[in-house]
Amino acid sequence: MREIGSYFLLVLLGTIISVSAPFSQSFQYQPDKPGKFIFDNQLDKCPGVDVTTVTKNLTTIVDWVRQNNPVVDHPTGFDALVDLTGFYWDKKNKQEDFGIRSTINFSFNHFYIENGVSCRATGNTAHGSAIIINKPIYYISTQFDEPEFKTDDPPHLKQPLEKARENLRKYYNTAPVIKEIAPGVRLYAEGGWFKGVLILCGKILQQTSG
């Protein structure tokens, strides 16, 4: 019985090795492949917004990141993509928003070889982060609401409930603060698939409002 068990184990290991070896050879990261820094300005041209000035302010932040992070300025094993988006001039600001809303998106698209073909990660397969400006609670808070609030009650019963719902929408639940790094700079606990959100309320954000 022991000999049969040993033989079975050897056959099983041989099968695993023969299956896993081709798989490991079909996918391989390229950590030493030189990448490049790519900048893309996708800001909306909104009526009444000085796009040139806002672009200059946002680019100043991007330049600071490049100067202080060689991983972004001289990427290896991936391309570093930075794009500017925002304004959303066709949408009304929420009560918690202010100024000119915009975002600096950072995406790190790694290189790999799959089935002998050189590839670059895109979309959700890449890694990235973002600096969201003038939208301070975008990732740390959820608005209270009852989106499926529908009844067949007569108006004299429905109106108080509608009024209560509108009052409820004024409030938000907010992720707890992990640490206040400096006055106006707070690190909040993770929410959803985010591993932590850093909120900065200071001069640099005021400048980017145009």
Tokens of 110: 């790694």
Q: Is the pLDDT of residue 204 over 50?
A: no
Contacts of 197 (CB under 8 A, 6+ apart): 139, 140, 175, 187, 188, 190, 191
Alpha helices in 27-134 (DSSP H): 51-68, 70-73
| Strand 78-86 with 37-41, pairing | parallel
Helix (H) or strand (E) holding 122: none
* pTM confidence score: 0.64
Q: Are 134 and 205 in contact (CB under 8 A)?
A: yes
**pLDDT, tens digit, 9 for 90 and up, residues 52-75:** 888 998 999 999 999 999 989 999
Pick from 113, 110, 55, 106: which is nearest to 82 by CA?
106
Q: What is the mean pLDDT of residues 75-99?
A: 76
Q: Are 191 and 197 in contact (CB under 8 A)?
A: yes
Contacts of 139 (CB under 8 A, 6+ apart): 132, 191, 194, 197
- Angle among Cα 208, 88, 127 to the nearest 5 degrees reads 75
b/e map 17-44, b = 16+ CB within 10 Å: eeeeeeeeeeeeebeebebeeeeeeebe
Domain boundaries, given as residue ranges, for the chain: 28-139+177-207, 141-174
**pLDDT, tens digit, 9 for 90 and up, residues 126-160:** 888 888 887 777 667 777 777 666 777 788 887 88
Q: How many CA atoms lie within 13 A of 205 on its CB side?
A: 18
Q: Is the pLDDT of residue 195 over 60?
A: no
Pick from 132, 138, 131: which is nearest to 96 by CA?
138
